[in-house]
Structure 1
Amino acid sequence: MKYVVLLSDGMAGRPIEQLGGRTTLEASHTPTMDRLAATAEVGLAAMVPQGMAPGSDTANLSVMGYDPRIYYTGRSPLEALSIGVEMEETDVSVRCNLVTLSEETTAYEDRKMLDHSAGEISTEEAKILIEAVKKELEEDGYEFHVGTSYRHLLLQKQGSITELIPPHDILGQTVGSFLPKEKLLRDKMKKSYDILSSHPINQKRKAQGKNPANSIWFWGAGSRPSLDSFLEKTGKKGIMISAVDLLKGIAAGAGMDVAAVEGANGGLHTNYEGKAKAALDALIKDGYDFAYIHVEAPDEMGHQGLVEEKMKAIEYVDQRVLRLLVEGMEEAKEEVRILVLPDHPTPIAVRTHTADPVPYLLYDSTRERAGVEGFGERTASETGISLSEGYRLIERLFAV
Structure 2
Amino acid sequence: MKYVIVHAGGMAHHPQEELGGRTPLQAAATPHLDRLAQSGELGQLMIPADGVHQGGGLVGTAILGYDPKKFYPGPGPLEAASLGVSGTEQDVVFRCTMVTVVPESGKGGEIKKLGQHVILDDATAGLIETEEARELIEAINEQLGSETIQFYPGAGHRHLMVWVKGKPRAICTDPQTILGQSIAEALPKGDGADILRQLMDAAYFILRDHPLNEERIAAGKKPANCIWLWGEGRAVTWPSLVEKYQVTGAVVATNDVHRGLGICAGLDAVDLDRLAGGDLQAKATVALEEFAKGDFVYVHAKLADEVIHGTDIKAKVQGVEEFDRHLVGPLFEGLSTLGPYRFLVICDHTAGIEGPAFYAFGEGGGKGSEVVGRRFTEADALAANMPTRDATKFVIKFFSKS
Check whether TM > 0.5.
yes
Q: Secondary structure at the match of 2:99?
A: strand
In the alignment, is the contact (CA less than 8 A) between 2:45 and 2:391 conserved in 1? yes
Call closer, same or farther: CA 1:191–1:321 in 2, change over 3 Å.
same
Deviation (angstroms), 1:122: 2.2
Letter in structure 2 aligned against 1:75: P
Q: Secondary structure at the match of 1:375?
A: coil
Provide the alpha-carbon RMSD of the alignment: 2.1
Letter in structure 2 aligned against 1:91: D
Is 1:172 paired with 2:173?
no
Q: Secondary structure at the match of 1:112?
A: strand
Letter in structure 2 aligned against 1:337: R
1:89 aligns with: 89
2:212 aligns with: 201
Letter in structure 2 aligned against 1:147: G
| Cα distance in 1 for residues equivalent to 2:396 and 2:238 | 17
Alignment of structure 1 residues 89-238 onto 2, 5 Å: 89-102=89-102, 105-107=109-111, 108-109=114-115, 110-161=117-168, 162-181=170-189, 182-238=193-249
Q: Secondary structure at the match of 2:10?
A: coil
1:341 aligns with: 346
Letter in structure 2 aligned against 1:389: D
Deviation (angstroms), 1:312: 2.2
In the alignment, is the contact (CA less than 8 A) between 1:12 and 1:345 conserved in 2? yes
| Cα distance in 2 for residues equivalent to 1:299 and 1:144 | 23
What are structure 2's unaligned runs of at least 5 residues?
none
Q: Which residue of the other structure, out of 261, 265, 272, is the alignment partner of 1:254?
A: 265
Greater Cα shift, 160-169 or 204-213: 204-213
Letter in structure 2 aligned against 1:198: D
1:326 aligns with: 332
Is 1:315 paired with 2:321?
yes
1:365 aligns with: 364
2:381 aligns with: 380
Letter in structure 2 aligned against 1:119: G
| Cα distance in 1 for residues equivalent to 2:217 and 2:387 | 47
| Cα distance in 2 for residues equivalent to 1:102 and 1:264 | 36
* 1:273-303 deviation digits (Å, cap 9, x = unpaired): 11111101001x3x21111111132676344
| Cα distance in 1 for residues equivalent to 2:306 and 2:364 | 31
What are structure 1's unaligned runs of at least 5 residues?
none
In the alignment, is the contact (CA less than 8 A) between 1:241 and 1:258 conserved in 2? yes
1:21 aligns with: 21
| Cα distance in 1 for residues equivalent to 2:201 and 2:396 | 47
Deviation (angstroms), 1:201: 2.7
Letter in structure 2 aligned against 1:345: H
Q: Percent identity?
A: 34
Deviation (angstroms), 1:172: 1.1
- The number of residue pairs the alignment matches comes to 388
Call closer, same or farther: CA 1:338–1:207 in 2, change over 3 Å.
farther
| Cα distance in 2 for residues equivalent to 1:145 and 1:226 | 22
| Cα distance in 2 for residues equivalent to 1:265 and 1:357 | 31
1:56 aligns with: 56
Letter in structure 1 aligned against 2:279: N
| Cα distance in 2 for residues equivalent to 1:245 and 1:265 | 15
* 1:98-145 deviation digits (Å, cap 9, x = unpaired): 112225742332222222222332222211110011111112311111
Greater Cα shift, 150-159 or 45-54: 45-54
Letter in structure 2 aligned against 1:42: L
Q: Secondary structure at the match of 1:10?
A: strand
In the alignment, is the contact (CA less than 8 A) between 2:51 and 2:69 conserved in 1? no
| Cα distance in 1 for residues equivalent to 2:353 and 2:17 | 20
In the alignment, is the contact (CA less than 8 A) between 1:302 and 1:352 conserved in 2? no
